[in-house]
């Protein structure tokens, strides 16, 4: 008795006086043996009446029961109390009561209840389905836990899904089932997070949903090389976000098409205006110059008239030069001689105007591109050199044009201050954006990156037209 951690009390069957107790009882109650000898169990309990105790002991006294249980509260000598659970036995004329302090177990039960309440509160407020999925080593599957969100997400109740776990796989569209199985297999083999997105068909509502499944695996049983894996996770309805992503992608594609169309129309309009300036305005100015030359030869020897006539002739010359320059800016006529000649010409023009040496090289003397590709590549080249002149503070530019079997590759490198990612993302960096949009419109790709030795590299790859 004294070696037991339980409290043991020995009572007289008739008088219920405590005739003996063990050390654990004395220590907990804070009474010595002499003090307890004059007491009954009623003296050291709270809320236990003589009638209740007599009724509780009746099965032992009259019905021959092996034991009975009794829950009560013991009162220590200092007045403090603690819950106790008794198991009482009848031994001849004695009643033996073995009691265990329930303070720790009740505190654990309260903590567990609080934790479960908190868990259910969190789960009930989640927009998706919280679940546990189990796959045994023999391949059997089950859903040990399913939250109340099961019906709202999957159209089946937790009871139905637990009764028929294969029903979940049947909900997945046939074309999405392989990716579901593969992702689960990879997660089980590597014990990595299971993340899957796919579509399910809800027959009850005649509706297709996109769902996202995220779960963490853990091994719960090992049988040879086979394992039983449990996943704890959550499923959410991502239909709306998928539709929004689709709309965003569609909107971006439409904007890109619109941008490409605007650029094409703009280039066509530039070409039309350039032709009119060159043909009409240029022709008229040339006729004026010829008429002025004839007029000057026929003027009398009048210094003032000759001075005015020469001034008008010089003005006509400047106007012709301006018309040629404006027409060239709108659409350089050199493009008619091919993209290689156009880029080489503009490199020389840049070198003369900016005063920065510009070395141009090409692996082909001629590269055949359609008008749209050639114009877009030329405009990108123009914008890249303009950025170098404005921002790079470079002393040298190297341009390489190369033709491969599949694409045209243009590189513009400078030894300036370089460019960072933040520079490309500036709100008003329209020049860089226009370069990217032009490349994208042709199915190409443009990259701008810093060079290790200093400076920047603009790389454009445009696939060759297959038409």
Distance in angstroms (rounded) separating the CA atoms of residues 116 and 155: 26
Residue 316's nearest CA partner among 280, 281, 274 is 281
The answer to whether 84 and 74 have CB atoms below 8 angstroms apart is: yes
CA 206 to chain centre: 30
Q: Measured in Å, how far apart are the chain's first and last C-alpha atoms? A: 100
pLDDT at 410: 94
pLDDT at 79: 92
Token representation of residue 253? 């594609």
Token representation of residue 300? 């009398």
Token representation of residue 94? 């004695």
Distance in angstroms (rounded) separating the CA atoms of residues 101 and 25: 10
Q: Which residues of 264-274 are buried (b: 16+ CB within 10 A; e: fewer)?
A: eeebeeebeeb
| CB neighbours of residue 79 within 10 Å | 7
Decide: helix, strand or coil at residue 357. coil
Per-10-residue mean pLDDT for the chain, 467 residues long? 87 90 91 89 89 88 86 92 93 90 89 82 80 92 93 93 94 95 94 95 91 94 81 94 84 76 76 77 84 83 82 86 79 82 92 93 90 86 90 91 90 87 60 83 87 89 76
Cβ burial of 393 (10 Å; 0-12, 13-18, 19+) is middle
Nearest 5°: the CA angle 428, 358, 405 is 85
- Tell me the CB-side half-sphere exposure of residue 260, using CA atoms within 13 A: 17
Reading phi first (left if > 0) and then psi (alpha if -120 to 50, else beta), residue 23 is in alpha
Distance in angstroms (rounded) separating the CA atoms of residues 219 and 232: 11
Token representation of residue 198? 């796919």
| H-assigned helices in 9-93 | 23-29, 33-36, 50-61
The answer to whether 383 and 434 have CB atoms below 8 angstroms apart is: yes
Task: Report pTM.
Answer: 0.50
pLDDT at 421: 60
Reading phi first (left if > 0) and then psi (alpha if -120 to 50, else beta), residue 34 is in alpha
pLDDT at 233: 94
Nearest 5°: the CA angle 339, 342, 346 is 140
pLDDT at 180: 96
Question: With helix as H, strand as E and coil as C, how does 118-169 read?
Answer: HHHHHHHCCCCEEEEEEECCCCCEEEEEECCCHHHHHCCCHHHHHHCCCHHH
């Amino acid at each position: 008795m004294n070696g037991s951690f339980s409290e043991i009390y020995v009572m007289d069957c008739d008088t219920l006086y405590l005739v003996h107790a063990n050390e654990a009882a004395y220590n907990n109650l804070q009474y010595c043996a002499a003090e307890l000898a004059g007491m009954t169990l009623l003296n050291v309990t709270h809320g236990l009446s003589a009638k209740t105790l007599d009724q509780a002991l009746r099965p032992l006294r009259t019905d021959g029961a092996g034991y009975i249980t009794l829950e009560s509260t013991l009162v220590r000598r200092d007045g403090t109390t603690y819950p106790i659970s008794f198991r009482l036995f009848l031994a001849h004329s004695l009643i033996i009561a073995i009691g265990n302090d329930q303070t720790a177990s009740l505190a654990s039960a309260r903590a567990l209840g609080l934790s479960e309440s908190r868990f259910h509160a969190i789960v009930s407020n989640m927009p998706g389905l919280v679940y546990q999925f189990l796959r045994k080593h023999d391949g059997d599957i089950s859903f040990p836990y399913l939250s109340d969100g099961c019906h709202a997400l999957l159209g089946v109740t937790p009871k139905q899904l637990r009764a028929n776990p294969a029903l979940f796989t049947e909900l997945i569209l046939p074309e999405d089932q392989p990716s579901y199985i593969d992702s689960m297999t990879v997660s089980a083999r590597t014990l990595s997070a299971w993340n899957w997105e796919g579509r399910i068909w809800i027959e009850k509502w005649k509706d297709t949903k996109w769902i996202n499944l995220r779960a963490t695996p853990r091994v719960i049983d090992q049988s040879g090389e086979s394992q039983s894996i449990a996943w704890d996770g959550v499923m959410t309805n991502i239909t709306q976000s998928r539709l929004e992503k689709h709309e965003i992608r569609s909107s971006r594609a439409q904007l890109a098409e619109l941008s490409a169309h605007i650029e094409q129309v703009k280039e066509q309009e530039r070409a039309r205006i350039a032709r009119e300036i060159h043909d009409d305005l240029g022709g008229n100015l040339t006729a004026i110059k010829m008429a002025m030359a004839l007029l000057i030869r026929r003027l009398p020897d009048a210094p003032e008239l000759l001075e005015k006539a020469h001034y008008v002739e010089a003005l006509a010359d400047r106007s012709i030069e301006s018309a040629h320059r404006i027409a060239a800016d709108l659409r350089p006529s050199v493009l008619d001689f091919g993209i290689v000649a156009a880029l080489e010409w503009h490199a020389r023009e840049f070198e003369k105007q900016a005063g920065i040496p510009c070395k141009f090289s090409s692996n082909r003397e001629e590269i055949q591109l359609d008008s749209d590709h050639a114009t877009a590549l030329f405009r990108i080249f123009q914008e890249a050199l303009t950025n170098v002149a404005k921002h790079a503070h470079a002393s040298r530019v190297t341009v390489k044009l190369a033709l491969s079997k599949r694409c045209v590759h243009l590189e513009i490198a400078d030894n300036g201050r370089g460019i960072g990612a933040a520079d490309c993302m500036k709100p008003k960096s329209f020049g860089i954006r226009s370069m990217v949009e032009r490349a994208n419109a042709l199915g190409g790709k443009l990259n701008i990156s810093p060079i290790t030795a200093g400076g920047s590299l603009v790389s454009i790859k445009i696939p060759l037209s297959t038409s």
